[in-house]
Amino acid sequence: MNIEKQLIEGIQAAFQQHYQHQLSEDEISLQPTRKDFTGSHTFVTFPFARITRQSPPQTAETIGNYLRENAEIVKDFNVVKGFLNIELSDVVWVNTLKSILQDYQSDKLYGFQPDNGQQVMIEFSSPNTNKPLHLGHLRNNFLGYAMSQILAANGYTVRKVNIVNDRGIHICKSMLAYQKFGNVETPESAGIKGDHLVGKYYVEFDKHYKAEISELVEQGMGEEQAKKEAPLIKEAQQMLKQWEQGDAETVALWKKMNGWVYEGFDATYQKIGVSFDQIYYESDTYVLGKDIVEEGLEKGVFYRKDDGSVWIDLSDEGLDEKLVLRADGTSVYMTQDLGTAELRYQDWSFNRLVYVVGNEQNYHFKVLFSILKKLGRPYANGLYHLSYGMVDLPTGKMKSREGTVVDADDLIDEVISEARKKTEALGKIDELTENQAEELFQMLGLGAIKYFLLKVDPKKRMLFNPEESVQLQGDTAPFIQYTHARISAILQKAKLENTDNQLFESIGTIETSEQEVVELLTAFPQKIQLAGSEYSPSVISQYVFDLAKAYNRFYTEVPIFAEEAKEKVAFRVGLSFAVAQTIRTGLGLLGIQAPEQM
């Protein structure tokens, strides 16, 4: 059934017959034929010159002839240098499309792997509760969500988790500023979303803090010392202590303000379509990990310094010495992460744990994974850091303290309103009710921003261009969504004319543009696998874009209903159906919806 397999078998047979040589399956690699040449699969013969004792073109010629004679699926071939370009017979394309359609018409989703019995936990989002989400969080959230979908499509059982950083000095800063300058303001009374209100006081703190520092510096204090001596920071530190001691008033304020933030976050998560199966809070987990430190000391993995602090020496792996417990017995970031990993494994015995965290923490995760390996944790080899690059602005780097961040809520509102503006300008919403229109704007706007952030390889640092992110033409989600809407209209018409359920058999020659579309359709399962193994949703976005482009070309070049041969009409309707489904599922993997009409 599988085309590649048949070709490989044919090539093996050819080597046997002509060169008396047994080639193993994985010695043979086929690649897609370049657009400028005829054919769909290419076999490169250069590496086999030693075996065949012929020049590469001669070898290609020999193999090509053998295949044309003996392999049913091969119609013709051509040779360019050592490249053997294989042209498949038309019936292969017809049958291929039929089998894809069968998948779509059964319960099985085309391109998805069956359950592999493996469990993967994926952590993403991980916000701080002292300020609202920004552009960087969006890349994180979209990546995490898309990867959870892609891993599920690869047969994993996926559990999405979020760890909320809800404690620490930065939270106390917001709290303190609110206490001092807040005038008992609430989100309701101020008419501001809860997370934004708390963020406002975080900025407020920084403003006053800076003023105090410069005052101290003016009085002749050094800057470093002034940062430590400013009354506000001391008060914040005092507050953190009170919180840790469980002081009732401090805890009450903390609960109230965090409550506001969660309401705000929930609204944002809901809007961007992101959800979690479980949420961890650092206020619960920050004390974890100390028993692991004990265990590590017993096993001799860690060692204690004279002052009582506990360390691990990783210099044999090219890493440094790393602190895992302070001299006063309190935990550090690493301690917590050790404890949290352990807790998660107890909660749900995963085969893999994926952390979606920015690449500025590459070193931290290297160390974390290395420690867990040394401790002999059963899950240590299943840990993966999905490290992604920073999002830059045309003006430079985002810095929250300097107010150069792009706020997530603002950005989302902007892309949606941009979608509304452009759709109205095109006059395409006359037939829609108000609700339908609103739903469409959301699909387009959110689609645009998600696609924009997901189309770049996660590992790479990327530039965020506000104008390009709201574009609806070219390499964008709306372009792909538009293709889906177009096909929906065709399928609707096919239903009305009752041409959608006709069978097609051999239909004669198929057009190049048709063949290209079928070829792309066959690649979908491999793309899902690649996106999963590379942890890269951009594989999917790239693919769906290519598919939409190929379909649009077919759409303008080849008539569907004007075609007289009924078999051909049915084939083309079937082709359209398969593309629509694939676009829909592909976009779905990215968390993007596909409208029926736009």
Partner RNA sequence: GGUCCCAUAGCUCAACUGGAUAGAGCAACUGCCUUCUAAGCAGUAGGUUCCAGGUUCGAGUCCUGGUGGGAUCACCA
Of 319-378, binders to RNA (CB under 7 A) are: 320, 323, 326-328, 332-333, 336, 359-364
Q: Which residues pair with 304 in a beta bridge?
A: 310
Residues 83-112 that bind RNA (CB under 7 A): 83, 85
Residues 192-231 that bind RNA (CB under 7 A): none
x/- mask, RNA, residues 1-20, rule CB under 7 A, reads --------------------
Residues 541-570 that bind RNA (CB under 7 A): 542, 545, 549, 552-553, 555-562
**Tokens 């569907």 appear where?**
560
Question: Encoding tokens for residue 78?
Answer: 């051509």
The reply to whether 490 sits near RNA by the rule CB under 7 A is yes
Number of shown-chain residues binding RNA (CB under 7 A): 93
Contacts of 539 (CB under 8 A, 6+ apart): 527, 530, 531
Interface with RNA by CB under 7 A: which range of 103-111, 116-124, 272-280, 303-311? 303-311
Q: How far is the CB of 494 from RNA (least distance, A)?
A: 9
Nearest alpha carbon to residue 455 among 438, 439, 479, 419? 479
Between 208 and 364, name the residue whose CB sits nearer to RNA: 364
The reply to whether 473 sits near RNA by the rule CB under 7 A is yes
Cα–Cα distances (Å) from 291 to 296, 339, 371, in that order, read 9, 8, 14
Q: What count of residues does the chain have?
A: 598
Contacting residue, 460, 506, 565, 566, with RNA by CB under 7 A = 460
CA–CA gap between residue 237 and residue 209 (Å, rounded): 13
The reply to whether 479 sits near RNA by the rule CB under 7 A is yes
The reply to whether 524 sits near RNA by the rule CB under 7 A is no
Q: How far is the CB of 335 from RNA (least distance, A)?
A: 8
The reply to whether 318 sits near RNA by the rule CB under 7 A is yes
Contacting residue, 103, 407, 410, 468, with RNA by CB under 7 A = 468
Cα–Cα distances (Å) from 328 to 180, 213, 299, 322, in that order, read 31, 29, 22, 16
Q: How far is the CB of 449 from RNA (least distance, A)?
A: 14
The reply to whether 522 sits near RNA by the rule CB under 7 A is no
Nearest alpha carbon to residue 264 among 182, 201, 187? 187
The reply to whether 397 sits near RNA by the rule CB under 7 A is yes
Q: Which residues pair with 120 in a beta bridge?
A: 158, 352
- Locate all alpha helices (DSSP H) within 273-376, ordered by sequence: 282-285, 290-299, 333-347, 362-374
Contacts of 434 (CB under 8 A, 6+ apart): none
Contacting residue, 131, 455, 540, 583, with RNA by CB under 7 A = 455
Between 162 and 471, name the residue whose CB sits nearer to RNA: 471
Interface with RNA by CB under 7 A: which range of 2-10, 31-39, 214-222, 246-254? 31-39
Nearest alpha carbon to residue 590 among 469, 448, 494? 448
CA–CA gap between residue 3 and residue 69 (Å, rounded): 17
Q: How far is the CB of 360 from RNA (least distance, A)?
A: 4
Q: How far is the CB of 126 from RNA (least distance, A)?
A: 9
